[in-house]
Each structure stands twice: as structure tokens, then as C-alpha cells.
Amino acid sequence: MNHISAGDTAWLLAATALVMLMTPGLGLFYGGMVRRKNVLSMIALSFIAYAIVSVQWIVYGYSISFGPDIHGIIGSLKYLLLFGFYHKVIGDVPALIYVAFQLVFAAITLAIVTSACAERIKLSAFLLFGLLWTTFVYDPIAHWVWGGGWLSKLGALDFAGGTVVHISSGFGALALALAIGKRRGFGEYNMEPHNIPMTLLGAALLWFGWFGFNAGSAVAANASAANAFLVTNTAAAVAGLSWMFASWIKEGKPGSLGFVSGAVAGLVAITPAAGYVNVSGAIAIGIVVGVLCYNMMLFRIRKGLDESLDAWAVHGMGGLWGAIATGIFATRAVSQYTGLIYGNFHQFIVQILAASASVAYAFVVTFIIAKFVDAVVGLRVSEEEEYVGLDISQHGETAYT
Amino acid sequence: MNHISAGDTAWLLAATALVMLMTPGLGLFYGGMVRRKNVLSMIALSFIAYAIVSVQWIVYGYSISFGPDIHGIIGSLKYLLLFGFYHKVIGDVPALIYVAFQLVFAAITLAIVTSACAERIKLSAFLLFGLLWTTFVYDPIAHWVWGGGWLSKLGALDFAGGTVVHISSGFGALALALAIGKRRGFGEYNMEPHNIPMTLLGAALLWFGWFGFNAGSAVAANASAANAFLVTNTAAAVAGLSWMFASWIKEGKPGSLGFVSGAVAGLVAITPAAGYVNVSGAIAIGIVVGVLCYNMMLFRIRKGLDESLDAWAVHGMGGLWGAIATGIFATRAVSQYTGLIYGNFHQFIVQILAASASVAYAFVVTFIIAKFVDAVVGLRVSEEEEYVGLDISQHGETAYT
Amino acid sequence: MNHISAGDTAWLLAATALVMLMTPGLGLFYGGMVRRKNVLSMIALSFIAYAIVSVQWIVYGYSISFGPDIHGIIGSLKYLLLFGFYHKVIGDVPALIYVAFQLVFAAITLAIVTSACAERIKLSAFLLFGLLWTTFVYDPIAHWVWGGGWLSKLGALDFAGGTVVHISSGFGALALALAIGKRRGFGEYNMEPHNIPMTLLGAALLWFGWFGFNAGSAVAANASAANAFLVTNTAAAVAGLSWMFASWIKEGKPGSLGFVSGAVAGLVAITPAAGYVNVSGAIAIGIVVGVLCYNMMLFRIRKGLDESLDAWAVHGMGGLWGAIATGIFATRAVSQYTGLIYGNFHQFIVQILAASASVAYAFVVTFIIAKFVDAVVGLRVSEEEEYVGLDISQHGETAYT
Amino acid sequence: MKKIEAIIRSEKFEDVKKALESKGIIAMTVTEVKGRGEQKGITLQFRGRTMEVDLLSKIKIEIVVDDSKVDTVVKTIVDSARTGKFGDGKIFIIPVEKSIRVRTGEIEK
Amino acid sequence: MKKIEAIIRSEKFEDVKKALESKGIIAMTVTEVKGRGEQKGITLQFRGRTMEVDLLSKIKIEIVVDDSKVDTVVKTIVDSARTGKFGDGKIFIIPVEKSIRVRTGEIEK
Amino acid sequence: MKKIEAIIRSEKFEDVKKALESKGIIAMTVTEVKGRGEQKGITLQFRGRTMEVDLLSKIKIEIVVDDSKVDTVVKTIVDSARTGKFGDGKIFIIPVEKSIRVRTGEIEK
Ligand SMILES: Nc1ncnc2c1ncn2[C@@H]1O[C@H](COP(=O)(O)OP(=O)(O)O)[C@@H](O)[C@H]1O
Ligand SMILES: Nc1ncnc2c1ncn2[C@@H]1O[C@H](COP(=O)(O)OP(=O)(O)O)[C@@H](O)[C@H]1O
Ligand SMILES: Nc1ncnc2c1ncn2[C@@H]1O[C@H](COP(=O)(O)OP(=O)(O)O)[C@@H](O)[C@H]1O
């Protein structure tokens, strides 16, 4: 048995708890944006996504993601139910907390995808979809990038999951949105957020938890964690302001929703880069991603696309930019890896390649899974169920009296 | 002065903060479930429970719980006001953080009991009741199990407080509910939760904080903490799904409230076991507790019992099952202790004994205290005060304008 | 490169995340207290304060606060953009996490000041005001007390920011309130809190985060952190009860808002003292501050002063009392420093001096900045904008539908 | 045609709704309101102080029916909403000149 | 003078408002209500069970106008609020004896 | 018997309530509404753009009284709710045929 560092373990325990909180935080973030009649459904989807992945991960998800590599494609089933893991050590932390840390990443990724089916998915369909998605989309990509698969062999950098978490969920959401179709009345009626303070609270929890996400990804309490912590905060703050100013100029009013959407976009974009860039890089990444994702959202709306809560615009495109930006701004001041600014064209190309492969894979496989679930149990609720709202029709509950 | 481990201390500091957050989290969890006119009262009861215990604990509560043992029954008053504690070390952490960690446990336990008197208790009565309850119910049981008292000598296992926290509060709540009587209109009118998203937020904070609760109980950042962390999450997720499916089958609709109630039940049940079982054991414990507590809630309603927010069904019965389950699923894969599955019948019997003694003690003493407080200051508000709601009648406030 | 302690770093990473959460927590705390039409504005001000400081701090704020001292007045610009900080170590933690820890302090300080301009400030004016304030008020005082400036040379004690954070923001808020003027209808109409549960949630997050604030200020996971943790909790609980009883006696009803205001006052007052007093001292500090700040609030209302959300009464006066109380209750049981109770009259005088200087500086400079901003862009929205509310007029949003 | 406006206790609403249904009165519009009657709400005593809680939450039910049905509706509401204590509520009968169904545009008088 | 009380689908409110504006009808009072019509809301099937969602969220618009404008207002609302499905809403015409402007105290009949 | 429906500024509600009390008018029903008058709410200028905030929060007070008291109630409301600026509100007088007290079932005309 290897040596365990209590300090590194202490941080990973705390970081895992922080990341766990992000999933209900995301539920609130999304829940505030939907109409009053769907808020419980929206929050419940996050909780249920979390629960599905929590079980799947310890049974076989961890194993196929992080188990012994099979041809660079997938992990083996060797770690089923984590037998014998109590005494294992990974790096210098107990293996079980590493498993838990990876679990909370897998969980929130599925939760992000629920953006696409807001206010119209059948609960039973989501249970099936969720299990398939985490198994066939998340786990393979996690294996490719972090579990010793082909992308890691290629040298792709993804510190905390720009590709694994955000590209996969963002482009997955896009595919799911296309498969499930628009909400009735989309583009016709007002579908304004019913409770923006709830969304702001959710954003606060996301920002808070993201420190665990990115700084925890150092899997140690060291300078790399400290750097990840600070650049994470920098990118979030800068991107929040950047989106706010962009919308201020374009629409004349800087919404609070715009600020927090920008902050989330900043958090997304810094995720893959957090272990490789310094604060100057974070500022650049943040400025760009705020303007970029804001315009992607406008583009999405212009196209009449009901990717309802903008997982694609924010996580998909933000993650894509982050992956590429890692290949630009990686600096020797922070790690051994360098990017375009150091003339490292190779890394830049690898980043684009890895991101593109993940975009394509996530999009295509998600679309297939969604169509399959639609054929088997039907993805959508009936028109009347949608009209009365998912809280009543799927859960038999009313959020507020 | 012994050696302090910065790593273990770092985790215990973080864990204590996490557990602290559970008490207002519980306030929100309960606050969402009551009617609009009592929400401030409900949240305030948690805050005030926390404050009462915070003061009592450092003055004498810690001392009678963890002070030098007197005949296995109670601790001595030696540690009054914690004089000289700054330089003490417990295990390898500063004694003061150990005191704080134990404090937040004592605090939430009293907060759980407020379930029983929701929407009808007089604030002044609760101040008195709370002080007596924490002194005469919580502190002795804590001493018996963790402070070197007779149950610990018997060999009863309770990793993070299935008996000390959940059995005592759950069965205490039952006794208090019987003593204070039903809410007016209970069983007649609709008393639906006024704000389920608030309850979901509360549940999220409970789940989050529970990682501190259970993994913190290792009092170290080690493999035991990592195991506790992961099994805690597993049991919560499984039990959430288990309650959800049970209610889906029985009532035709899986409520979001059902999911989070199940998750809390899972967290309760894994609490005593978290240091002794592995993920497989956690799955078993979670499946059972979800179905069990759901049916206990139905039973409670059928009996016309107004234990208003189900502390008994969830904490009492969930804690009871957890205590027994520890004696079943304890496995050598995780610690030196074993349960029934290893043929250790002795441990199983000890667990039942310890749990039963605590059930009886908590129920009887709570009932006596409640009746005493009723006689001295009156437990309940007047009919008119109950009608206008406790927010106005006890606090002079209106929650929402 | 010095040695890094993983344990101490683990705690500082967690503590920094905790403190970060306080700023949106403060946003909710304040947001619940304003009228429904200004809630988004109020929460957004906290987020935006956080963002402004996040950028300013890494660009030059940290440098002028903690950079090489210039005549005891201000730090130099040597640490601009933190070049080369990745490999630096401060104490035994990576410099970058120390920078982040200090950042979140600076951020919440500016957020506290927003109390004074609730429901009437122009967003653009706040952007300018915020940048000037953090540069010309916060950074110098931080330098004087913590960055090697004249107050630290004088021997003033301020463990976690009673002077730097609370006096500066509280008296700054007072000056800003005078400069911006009353809300229209103040003293005439009802301006009751629109959502007290939101305020209670905010208070819970503040309390939770404050453990990072105070115990993190030990910059180590040691006995000093443990002591800070416990006395912080003690003062908060005691002061919550103290304010509650004071208002119970005076007004006949103990509000939940009163309890949490008291708790925040307790947290404020213990902040400078947390590394120097024991639990007995904390009890004394808490009792006094609850009664004191409650009466300061009544005084403020009697004077017809619209320092709208009582940053002055709670943070200003609470911080002042805390600074002085540190000079009274500092005890050798906890550190080498002593106060009046040990006959150390010198420390007592130094505390009063440092506090008074900071009061004067913060008040005067804030007033000048406010007047300057008013002259340049105008501090207040128009009468009609104030009437329809800042959510619509400044952000183009409606909080709830 | 008349509009019956009944202001009743919130907690009695379910009972009233069921009672109306059993009489075949289905259509209705419901609003959350606050109100006080002539006795001015409820007075609480607190440590020698008096506190009035005058505006209590109520439910307003509006039902438009033919003149012939007014008495049935009123009686049904009175019977199902009554507790016999102050605060039980009031019913007002207001003339309606005509009613139009949006779906079809058809007019009833 | 008449009060036009229209209870319409919430999601049609913006359309109705705009349609009225285009006819010069600006003044109005709007309330969030719940309601059901004669067909008793919506019935959902769930695992063999039937569940009625009877009270659905609606918007009530109140507009007081001169008798001469009643037909225009009614027609405008009917045209803009209609979807042709159950639940489109109802409009009631109620007599108003007079109206007073608070700002000036002036009375209109 | 008349129903007086007054739509007033929310922030004036406490003043109006007290003024009515002082005239012995206690009973009332209160609803939160949104509304706009003929001048169409408030127009804000923002960076050269115009933004209309048309629906502002208002309080609707409903009071049913004998015909003899109508003028007192109206005058009291007008006096206490007025600020003299646009948006002060409107009062409508609507006939009520009868009123029934739920507690006793007694009818007033
Ligand atoms: N004259 C009135 N005008 C308007 N609303 C009234 C009037 N009288 C009663 N109400 C409404 O009816 C509700 C119940 O009236 P209340 O007087 O309490 O009933 P009871 O007389 O049976 O005790 C009040 O809260 C108020 O909303
Ligand atoms: N007789 C009535 N009295 C009061 N409100 C009514 C009445 N009929 C309909 N309503 C209101 O109008 C709304 C729409 O009515 P509905 O019957 O659903 O329209 P439609 O007949 O076009 O389907 C209902 O939800 C209810 O609020
Ligand atoms: N014709 C009307 N029909 C219905 N409600 C009206 C009408 N006119 C005014 N109101 C209501 O009265 C409120 C105040 O009216 P407003 O025109 O702003 O007062 P003023 O004319 O004194 O400025 C409006 O917000 C609206 O709710």
C-alpha cells in the first residue's frame, strides 16, 4: 500500500463535496429559468441524473472509464463494484475518494444535458436515456481523455473536463434538442424565467463548487491547485463582465442573467486550461468566451432552435473554445506544457483534433440514443401533459401554493 | 502536546463547516414543507436550536458528553467552558475543532426534533424544551455511545450517529408530537408544502453537508473517510430512487419530494454504518431504507399521527434500520468489525440492544420533558395564533410580500 | 522554493471557496430585504462587486495591498498581474492561494457597501464607484493592517478583518448613504423585506462561509484555526440570541430577521478577535454586540438615515466593537497577545487608535469618491426608474413571473 | 345572469369546490386575496401589547351562472364554507349583462 | 359604462394586450387567477389511474369602457385569445355605475 | 348596495387603509394586481432606446357598502391615495344585488 497524503486527501474530500453541490446547484440554475409549472421537474432531473450516475458509476461506470485500457477505446470491467478498492491508493490519495471525485463529474455532465429536454421530457424516458447516455457517451470520452484512451495517448490536454464534461454535454444537448423537438409554443409565447433569484443562487453554487472541480483536478493540495483556483475565478469574473457588456451594448440592458451566464461560460472555458494557463491567459479566455457564448445564444435563438437552457451555447461552445484556448495559452510559467503563444503549433492542432472528435462522437451517439429511447418508450410527454406542466403531470406536485 | 496532523485538521475544519450548514439546510427542508404562514417560524426553529446548542455545548454540554466517564452514564463537569483546551490534541487534531465537530452534531439533532412541533409550538416553550432536550436526551446518549459510556463498552457500533443523532431525534420527535398534539385541521384540510423548491434546496444542502457528517467522523483524511464518503453517496442515491419507485408503484406518481425524502432516509441509514460497510452494503441498505421509510410515512399518516414533517419515519426508523444494518453488513473489507454476513451474530445483537435502549430512552425522556414544559409555560400557541400562523404570532413577521 | 504544507494548503483552498460563497450569500441576504422590484439589482450588485474586485485584485489590487511597503502607506506595483507567482510560497502555502484568499476578502468588503445604495444606484455608477472604492479605500487599509503598513507597525491586531473589512465597509456605507440620499418614500411608505426566507438563506451562507473567513485567517490547519472556528460560532450564536432577546423585550416580538442580524453582528465582532480570544471572551463579545447593533439600527432609523440595509449598524459598529474588544479580551490562553483583562492597556489604546483612524479614513474617502462619481456620471437613477424598480430599469428583467 | 363572488377561508376551499361539483357547478375562477370583515381580523395579545392581524388570506371564488342557479350556488357555498366562527366569509351577487365564450365567440345573456 | 372581465390563457396574454393596444385600448387591470370551465380542466391518464388537473393558471383582464366600445373590446379579445381548443376562456360584461379618477377626483358615468 | 373597486398605488395602501378605518370602514378585500392607465405606464430612456414599463404593480381594494356610504368611501380613498401624479388609480362603482354572510347565512340587500 502506497503512502497516503492526509493533506491531499483532505482537499480531495472537500473538493468532491463541492462538486457534488454543483448538480443540485445546476438544478436550481435551470429551475429558475423554466416556467413555474415545470420547476420541480427541472430540479428533479438534476437530482435523478445524479442518482442514476451515482449507482452506475460504482457498479461499472468507473470501471469502463478508468479500468485497464482496451485498445484505447474503453476500460475493462475489472473494477466492477469496486471490490478491494478500500486499500488502493491513486497518486497519494485513497482510491475511493478518487472514484467519488470522478463520480461527481460524471453526474453533473448528465445533469447539464437535461437543458435540452426542459419542460417536455417524460420522466421514465429520462431514466433510460440517462443510463444509456452516461454509459455510451460520457464513459468512453472520459476513458479516451483521462482513462488512458487514444486521446490521452495523442497528448490532448484537458485539465478538468472541457472536453469530457462540457463538450460532451453541450453537443449532446444539441443532439437531444433536435431529437425531442421544440416546446409547444416556442417562439410564439413568452417563456420567461419564472424565478431569476433561484437561477442566481444556482449560479453561485456552481461558481462555488467549480473551485472543487478545477482546483480538485490537481488531485493534490499544491501550487497547481492554487493556480487552478485563481484562474478559475479570474475567467468566471471576466467572462461575466464580458457577457454583461456585450449584451449591454447590443440590447441596451445588462441582465443579471447575462452576468451569471457569462460567469458560467467563463468557468466552462477555463476548465480544460486551469492547470496550464496563468491569470493573464485566464483574462484572455474569459473575455473571448463571454462574447462568444452570448452570440452563440443569440444565434441559437435566431435559428429557432429550442436547446432550451443553452447548454450548447454555454457548455458546448464554451468547452470547445476552452479546449482550443488551452492549446493557445498554455504557458511554461505554470506547467511543462505550452501552447501557440510559445510557438507550440502541435499542441494547438492536437487540441482541435481531440475537441472535434469529441464533438462529433457526442453529437452522433446522443442523437442515436435519443431516437432509440423515443422509439422504445417515447421521449416526450403528451400535449396536454406539457400544457399543464411536468410538475403535475410527471410528479403529481405543485411547486408553490 | 501531541503531534497535530495539518491534513487531518484541514479535513475536520472543512467537515465541521459542512455539518454546520446542514442545520439551516434542514430549516429550509422543513420550511418548504409547511404552510406559507409558518415558514419563518420553521426556519427560525432550526437557527435557534443551533444557537441554543452552540452555547450549551461549550458551557457544559461537551463536558457531560465527552468528559471523564461517571459509571458509564454521563461525563463529568471537568471540561466546563473548555478551559485550557487550546493546547489539547484529540487523535491528531486540535481538541477545539473536535469539540466544534461534535457541537454541530448536537445542534442538528435538536433541529430535527422541531419536525414534531411544526406550525404550533410557542417560541418561548421551544427555548426551554430545547435546552432540556439537548441536556437530558442528546448528551447522555452521546456519552453512552461515543463518550466512553455503557453502550460503547458493550461494543455497539455507531460510526457517525445513527443512534446518537437519528434514533434520538426521530423517536424524540414522535414523543413530542404525541405530547403537543395535532395541528388544528390536521387530516381535515389540505396542508400542502408551500414551497417545494425550498425543500429541494434544503435537501441538497443536507446531502452536501452529510459528507462532512459521515466522512468527517473518521476524524482523519484517510481511507476510512474516503470509504464513508462514497458509501454515503451511494446509499443516498439508491434510497432516493428506491422511495421514488415505491411511491411510483403505489401512488402512480414519483414526487420530487419523495426522491429527496428517500435520499435523506438513505443518508440517515448509512450514518452508523459508513465506517464499516462497502458500496455493496450501501446499496442494500439504501434499497431497504427507501421502501421502509416510505411505508413508515404512510403508516404514520394512516394512524392520524401528526408527526408533521416525518422525522420519526425518516430519522427514527431510518436510524433504527441503519443501526441494525451495521450489525448485518459490517465487512472486513473496510474495518476490523464484522456483521451478520460474516456470521457475527454477537454484533448484530449488540446493535439491536443499543438501538432499542436508545429508542426507549429518547422516547420516554422526551415525553417527560415535553409534558414538563407544557405544564410550566405551555407548549402550544393559542388557537388564534395558530390560525394566523406562527410567523406573525411568534415573530411578528410576514415571509413574503 | 520553500516547503509547501499540503494540509495547510488544503484548508486554505477550502477556506477560500467558503469565503467566496459569502458574497452571493450577502447578495441573497440583502436581496430578501429589498422590495420585489429591486431584488435582482441587489443580488447583481454583489456579483458585480465580486467581479470588479476579482479583476482589479490580480491586476494591481494585490500588489498595492501586499506588495513591498512604501512609507507604511501603500504597497508598490511590483506584483502586477502576479508574474512569477506560481512558484512563490507564502508561509507554507502556495502564494497563489494566499492571493485568492485575500481576493475574496476584498470582494465581499465592496459587496457590503452596496447596502447603502440599495434600490437607487445606477449600475454604471456602481461600476465606477466600486473600482475606485476598492482601490482607494480597501487596498490602503488592507496594506496598513496586513500588508506591513503603519497600523501593523503600531501593533494593531486584526485577525480576520474587523478593521480592514467591516469598519471600512460599514463606515464607507454610511458615507455613501449620505452622499446618495434617501430612497423616495423612505420613512413614508412601507418598505418591508419582500422575501425573508431568502435573507435567512443568505445568513446561513454567510455563517457557513465565515468559518473560512476567520479560521482560514490562521493560514494553517492548526490550533489557532480551530480556536478561531469555535469562537466564531460562539459569538454568532450568542449575538443572535442577544439581538433576539433585546428586540423581544423592546418590541414584544423576536423576529427571525433579528436573530440572523444578530448572528451576523456576532460574526463581525469576533472577526478581529478570533485568533486572540477564547470561548469565554467570545460569549462576552457576542452578548454586547447583539444589543449594541440592535440599538444602533434603531438609532439609525430614528435619525431618518437611509443606510438601507444596516451595513453601518452591523458591520461598522460591530466591527468597531470587535476591534476594541480584541484589545480587551485577548488572552494568553490562545496567543501571545493580551488585552485589558490582562492589564494590557497599551493594546487597548492601539486598538482604539487603529479603529478610529480607519473609521475616519473610510468615511472621508468614501464620501469623496461618491461625490466624485455623482458629479461624473450621477449616482442615482431617475425618479421614474426608481419607481418601476431597478430590476426593470437597470437590468431589463423581472425577478418572478 | 349573475356573478357570485364568494370570499371564503382558504382552508375551506377544497370542501366548497367538492360541494359545488356535487351540485354540477364546475366552472369557476379562483383568486388568492386578503381580507378583513367588520370585526377587523384577529387580535393577538403579546406581553401586554395588542397586535392586530387584520388582513388574513382568503380565497375568492367567482362563478357566473343563470339567475335560476344563484340560490343553489349560494346555499352550497354557505353550507360547505361555514365553520360558525368569525371570518367565514361573504358572498356578493353582481349582475352580469352577458357572457362570451372565447373559443366560439358565442354570446349568452 | 361597462366592465369587461376576460379570463384567458396566460400564454395568450401578450397577444391580447398587443391586439387591444392596436385598437387604442390601453387601460386595463390584470390579475393572475386559476380557473376551470365546464369541461373541468384536463384529465391525465397515468398508469391506469385518472388524474384531474382542474384549476389551471389563467389571466384575468379587467377593462372598464364606455358602452360604445364594449363590442370592439370583446371582439378584439376573442380574436386574439382564441386557439379553438377547450380552455380558451370567457368574457363577462358587468355594468359599472360610475368611475372616479383618483388623481383628479373627476367622475365619469 | 354597491361594490367599490379601487385600484391604487401599492405604496399608498397603508395610508388608504388607515383613512378608511378612521371613517369606520373596516371590511374589505384586497388583491395584488398589475395595471396600466391610458397613459400607458412609464417610458424609460435607455441609451437612445425607449422602453415601456406598462404593467405596474397595483393594489385593488374591493369594498361592498350600502349606497349611502359610497360617497364617503370614494372621497376617503381619493384623498388618501392621491399623489397628483399619473398612476394614482381609478375607482369603479358596481351594483351589487345582495350580499350573504357565510357564518349566519343572513342576506342583506
Ligand atoms: N363589506 C365587505 N366588502 C368587501 N369584502 C368583504 C366585506 N365584508 C367581508 N368581506 C370579505 O369577506 C371576508 C370574510 O368576512 P368576515 O367579516 O370575516 O366574515 P364573518 O362576518 O362571517 O366573520 C373578509 O376577509 C373580506 O375579504
Ligand atoms: N361560469 C363561469 N364562472 C366563472 N368563471 C368561468 C366560468 N366559465 C369559465 N370561467 C373561467 O374561464 C376560464 C376558461 O373557461 P373554459 O370553460 O375553459 O373555456 P372554454 O369553454 O372556451 O373551454 C376558466 O378557467 C374559468 O376561470
Ligand atoms: N379603464 C380601465 N379599466 C380597468 N382598469 C383601469 C382602467 N383605467 C385605469 N385602470 C387601473 O387603474 C390603474 C391606475 O390608473 P392610471 O390611469 O394610471 O391612473 P391615472 O389616470 O390617475 O394616472 C391602472 O394601473 C389600472 O390598473
Classify residue F20 by its DSSP letter. H
> Which ligand neighbours the alpha carbon of F82 most closely?
3
Condensed to tens digits (0 to 9), the pLDDT of residues A232-277 reads 999 999 999 999 999 999 999 999 999 999 999 999 999 999 999 9
Q: What is the mean pLDDT of residues B331-336?
A: 97
Distance D90 CA to ligand 1 centre (A): 5
Q: Which residue of A has its CA nearest to E12?
A: A189
Condensed to tens digits (0 to 9), the pLDDT of residues C144-189 reads 999 999 999 999 999 999 999 999 999 999 999 999 999 999 999 8
Question: Distance between terminal CA atoms of chain F?
Answer: 7
Instruction: Please list the residues that pair with A154 across neighbouring strands.
Output: none
The band of B287, judged by pLDDT with boundaries at 50, 70 and 90, is very high
Residues 6+ apart with CB under 8 A from B214: B159, B160, B228, B229, B231, B232, B267, B270, B271, B274
Closest listed residue to residue A96, CA positions, set B215, C13, B205: B215
Please, what is the average pLDDT of chain C? 97
- D41 CA: nearest ligand 1 atom: 18
Q: What is the mean pLDDT of residues A280-307?
A: 98
Q: Which amino acid is at E37?
A: G
Closest listed residue to residue B31, CA positions, set B329, B282, B391: B391
CB contact under 8 A, D94 and E94: yes
- Output b/e per residue, B338-369; b: 16+ Cβ within 10 A: bbbbeebeebbebbebbbebbbebbbebbbeb
Q: Which residue of A has its CA nearest to C56?
A: A234
Q: Which three cell numbers stand for residue B246?
A: 415505491
Please check whether residue E56 touches A, CB under 8 A: yes
Please check whether residue E53 touches A, CB under 8 A: yes
Q: What is the mean pLDDT of residues B53-57?
A: 98
Residue B249, classified by CB atoms within 10 Å of its CB into exposed (0-12), middle (13-18) or buried (19+), is exposed
Indicate if ligand 2 lies below 6 Å from the C-beta of D1.
no
Q: Which chains touch D (3 or more CB pairs under 8 A)?
A: B, C, E, F
Domain range enclosing E27: 2-108
C-alpha to C-alpha distance for F109 and A340, rounded to whole angstroms: 87
Q: What is the mean pLDDT of residues C209-228?
A: 98
Number of folded domains in chain D?
A: 1
Classify residue C5 by its DSSP letter. P
Angle between helices B95-113 and B139-146 (to 10 degrees): 130
Please, what is the average pLDDT of chain B? 97
CB contact under 8 A, E53 and A393: yes
- Output b/e per residue, A99-128; b: 16+ Cβ within 10 A: bbbbbbbbbbbbbbbbbbbbbbbbbebbbb
Indicate if ligand 2 lies below 6 Å from the C-beta of E41.
no
HEC letters along C286-350:
HHHHHHHHHHHHHHHHHCCCCCCCCHHHHHHHHHHHHHHHHHHHCCCCCCCCCCHHHCCHHHHHH
Q: Which amino acid is at A208?
A: F
Indicate if ligand 1 lies below 6 Å from the C-beta of D41.
no
| Closest residue CA from atom 1 of ligand 2 | D64
Angle between helices B168-180 and B317-329 (to 10 degrees): 160
Q: Which three cell numbers stand for residue C204?
A: 446561513
Domains and CATH numbers, chain C: 6-395 (1.10.3430.10)
Q: Which amino acid is at C177?
A: A
Q: Which amino acid is at C242?
A: S
Angle between helices A256-270 and A223-251 (to 10 degrees): 140
Q: State the smallest CA–CA distance between residue E26 and chain A in angstroms.
A: 20
Closest listed residue to residue C142, CA positions, set C62, C226, C218: C62
Question: Distance between terminal CA atoms of chain A?
Answer: 56
CB contact under 8 A, D88 and F94: no
Q: Are F108 and F10 in contact (CB under 8 A)?
A: no
Q: What is the ipTM of this complex?
A: 0.97
Residue E49: per-residue pLDDT: 65
Residue E10: per-residue pLDDT: 94
Q: Which of E95, E97, E99 lies at the smallest CB-CB distance from F90?
A: E99
Classify residue C77 by its DSSP letter. S
The band of E52, judged by pLDDT with boundaries at 50, 70 and 90, is confident
**Global pTM exceeds 0.90:** yes
CB contact under 8 A, B388 and D14: no
Please check whether residue A304 touches F, CB under 8 A: no
Residue D108: per-residue pLDDT: 87
Residue E43: per-residue pLDDT: 78
Q: State the smallest CA–CA distance between residue F51 and chain A in angstroms.
A: 10
Task: Give the count of Cβ contacts less than 8 A between chain A and E.
Answer: 24
Taking residue A185's Cβ as centre, other Cβ atoms within 10 Å add up to: 14
Torsion A285-A288-A292-A293 (CA) sign: positive
CB contact under 8 A, F44 and C37: no
For A270, C29, C55, C65, F19, the CA distances from C48, given in Å and listed in that order, are 19, 16, 11, 21, 43
The CA-CA-CA angle for residues B11, B17, B20, to 5°, reads 140
Q: Which three cell numbers stand for residue B379?
A: 407548549
C-alpha to C-alpha distance for A343 and A338, rounded to whole angstroms: 8
Closest listed residue to residue A179, CA positions, set A139, A132, A145, A109: A132
Indicate if ligand 2 lies below 6 Å from the C-beta of D5.
no
Work out whether strand F2-9 and strand F56-65 pair parallel, antiparallel, or are unpaired: antiparallel
The band of D109, judged by pLDDT with boundaries at 50, 70 and 90, is confident
> Which ligand neighbours the alpha carbon of E57 most closely?
2
- Does the pLDDT at position C121 exceed 80? yes
Q: Which three cell numbers stand for residue D75?
A: 346555499
CB contact under 8 A, A401 and B252: no
Residue B42: per-residue pLDDT: 98
Taking residue F72's Cβ as centre, other Cβ atoms within 10 Å add up to: 14
Indicate if ligand 1 lies below 6 Å from the C-beta of D86.
yes
C-alpha to C-alpha distance for B102 and B123, rounded to whole angstroms: 26
Distance D29 CA to ligand 1 centre (A): 19
Q: What is the mean pLDDT of residues B306-317?
A: 98
Distance D85 CA to ligand 1 centre (A): 12
Q: What is the mean pLDDT of residues B229-251?
A: 97
- Does the pLDDT at position B1 exceed 60? no
| Closest residue CA from atom 26 of ligand 2 | E35
Q: State the smallest CA–CA distance between residue A239 and chain C in angstroms.
A: 9
Instruction: Please list the residues that pair with C176 across neighbouring strands.
Output: none
Residue A355: per-residue pLDDT: 98
C-alpha to C-alpha distance for F61 and F91, rounded to whole angstroms: 9
C-alpha to C-alpha distance for D59 and D55, rounded to whole angstroms: 12
Residue B169: per-residue pLDDT: 98
Q: Which residue of C has its CA nearest to F87?
A: C387
C-alpha to C-alpha distance for A358 and A368, rounded to whole angstroms: 15
Q: What is the mean pLDDT of residues A328-350?
A: 98
Q: Using beta carbons and an 8 Å cutoff, which residues of D are at the interface with E?
A: 3, 26-31, 64, 94-103, 105
Indicate if ligand 2 lies below 6 Å from the C-beta of E90.
yes
The C-alpha cell 357598502 sits at F65
Does an H or E element contain C198, and which? Answer: helix C196-216
> Which ligand neighbours the alpha carbon of D54 most closely?
1
When mean pLDDT is compared across A103-117, B236-250, C282-296, E34-48, the lowest value belongs to: E34-48
Residue F99: per-residue pLDDT: 97
Q: What is the mean pLDDT of residues C246-252?
A: 94
Q: State the smallest CA–CA distance between residue F43 and chain D in angstroms.
A: 30
- Does the pLDDT at position B2 exceed 80? no
Residue C307: per-residue pLDDT: 98
- Does the pLDDT at position F49 exceed 70? no
Q: Which residue of E has its CA nearest to B250?
A: E47
Please check whether residue C187 touches F, CB under 8 A: no
User: Tell me, what CATH number does E12's domain have?
Assistant: 3.30.70.120
Half-sphere exposure of C251 (CA within 13 A, CB side): 16
Residues 6+ apart with CB under 8 A from A262: A239, A240, A241, A242, A243, A244, A289, A290, A293, A294
- Does the pLDDT at position B329 exceed 80? yes
Indicate if ligand 1 lies below 6 Å from the C-beta of D38.
yes
Q: Are A208 and A18 in contact (CB under 8 A)?
A: yes
Q: What is the mean pLDDT of residues B187-209?
A: 96
Query: What's chain C's length in residues?
Result: 401
Question: With contacts defined as CB-CB under 8 Å, which chain E residues touch D99?
Answer: 90-93
The band of E54, judged by pLDDT with boundaries at 50, 70 and 90, is confident
Taking residue C146's Cβ as centre, other Cβ atoms within 10 Å add up to: 20
Q: What is the mean pLDDT of residues A176-182?
A: 98
CB contact under 8 A, A39 and B197: yes
- Does the pLDDT at position D52 exceed 80? no
Question: Distance between terminal CA atoms of chain B?
Answer: 56
CB contact under 8 A, F92 and E99: yes
Q: Using beta carbons and an 8 Å cutoff, which residues of F are at the interface with D?
A: 3, 26-31, 64, 94-103, 105
Distance E74 CA to ligand 2 centre (A): 15
Does an H or E element contain B27, and which? Answer: helix B6-31
Q: State the smallest CA–CA distance between residue E87 and chain A in angstroms.
A: 11
Q: Ligand 3: residues whose CB is within 6 Å?
A: E 27-29, 62-64, 101-103; F 7, 35-38, 58, 86-90
Indicate if ligand 2 lies below 6 Å from the C-beta of D98.
no
Question: With contacts defined as CB-CB under 8 Å, which chain D residues touch B388?
Answer: 42, 44, 53, 56
Classify residue E27 by its DSSP letter. -
- Does the pLDDT at position F44 exceed 90? no
Closest listed residue to residue B216, CA positions, set B322, B104, B317, B315: B104
Closest listed residue to residue B257, CA positions, set B94, B30, B2, B36: B30
Q: Which residue of C has its CA nearest to D48?
A: C252
Residues 6+ apart with CB under 8 A from A168: A109, A137, A138, A141, A358, A362
DSSP D27-96: -EEEEEEEEE-TT-SEEEEETTEEEEE--EEEEEEEEEE-GGGHHHHHHHHHHHH--SSTT-EEEEEEE-
The band of F77, judged by pLDDT with boundaries at 50, 70 and 90, is very high
Question: With contacts defined as CB-CB under 8 Å, which chain A residues touch C396?
Answer: 251-253, 255
The band of F42, judged by pLDDT with boundaries at 50, 70 and 90, is confident
Q: Which residue of B has its CA nearest to A44?
A: B256
- Does the pLDDT at position C202 exceed 80? yes
When mean pLDDT is compared across B77-81, B298-302, D2-6, F36-40, the lowest value belongs to: F36-40
Q: Which of B189, B382, B392 lies at the smallest CB-CB distance from D53?
A: B392
- E103 CA: nearest ligand 3 atom: 22
C-alpha to C-alpha distance for A109 and A26, rounded to whole angstroms: 10
Question: With contacts defined as CB-CB under 8 Å, which chain C residues touch B401?
Answer: 35-36, 192-195
- Does the pLDDT at position B215 exceed 90? yes
Query: What's chain B's length in residues?
Result: 401
